[in-house]
Amino acid sequence: MKSKQSGFTLVEIAIVLVIVGLLLGGVLKGQELITSGKAKSLFADKSAIQTAYNTYNDRFRAIPGDDGAASTRFSGLACGVAGATASTAAAVCANGNGNGSITGVGTEGGTAVTLAVALPTTDPVTGAAAGEVYMFYQHLRAAQLIQTEGSQSDTTPGVNAIFFPPTNATAGRTAINSTRSYWGQQDSLMYFIQSNVAGNVANALDAANDDGFINRGGIRSGNNGTLASPNTATTGTVYQNGTSYSVSTNLL
């Protein structure tokens, strides 16, 4: 007597395939929403800094970082000056030179400056001119227009969190630069650079707010600071998945 063999019917297989397809579609859609959400957060970060800058400018008629009267506006404690307490007023906030522009080169890696009454004139890692690009965040935080991440002495000996470029939605940093980051960018008083941005997120950000190319338009990017191709190229260079980018745009 032959034994009866059992198996899946075509209907059952079809149902399973439909369910698998729905699950895969849900996963892909979820990933797309996460990517889009991070891109929107990065754009919101820029908008928040722009708002803080404009508020500071309207309130004090000065540029944060360049403000030559910051020492009269804020206490040493508010500015994170070494040794300053609520009861000591001797240590004061560092002033900018008040010439109407930001001086110095910011690093998108987010290097902190040494905790001191006066800012160093060079970045402690790169040796590049520092100064007002770090005081930009100091003055905004002293005016309580953006938050200080961590305690003012942070966890690293000798550094002060009030100078740290803020962390962005992709766990990178947001740097302010006084000179254009990449070739071909339009002239601006300040450039806004966001580091450690994954290729798919950078593409979503660029495509939604510019032209979707690394080397063209108002948003320019580099492979963690190194250009993937010259920004003078006539053809557009696309973003690559699996690559991290530093994304730069005009802040003002």
Mean pLDDT along residues 74-95: 71
Better-scored residue on pLDDT, 152 or 115 = 152
Distance between CA atoms of 144 and 55, rounded to whole angstroms?
A: 11
Name residue, tokens 């708002």: 51
- In Å, how far from its chain's centre is CA 62? 23
pLDDT at 64 over 60: yes
Distance between CA atoms of 42 and 50, rounded to whole angstroms?
A: 13
What is the token pair recorded at 244? Answer: 């991290």
Mean pLDDT along residues 48-64: 94
Better-scored residue on pLDDT, 64 or 124 = 64
Better-scored residue on pLDDT, 46 or 119 = 46
pTM of the predicted model, to two decimals? 0.73
Residue 131 CB coordination number (10 Å):
24
Mean pLDDT along residues 119-127: 43
Percent of the chain with pLDDT strictly greater than 70: 66
DSSP code of residue 63: -
Spatial neighbors of 94 by CB under 8 A, at least 6 apart, are 70, 71, 79, 81, 117, 118, 119, 135, 138
Domain ranges of the chain: 48-167, 180-252
Mean of the per-residue pLDDT values of the chain: 74
**Whose CA is closest to 197, among 48, 41, 85?**
41
Interval 199-242: pLDDT, tens: 999 999 999 999 888 888 888 887 654 544 445 556 788 899 88
pLDDT at 170 over 60: yes
Spatial neighbors of 157 by CB under 8 A, at least 6 apart, are none
Provide the pLDDT for residue 248.
Answer: 86
Better-scored residue on pLDDT, 12 or 238 = 238
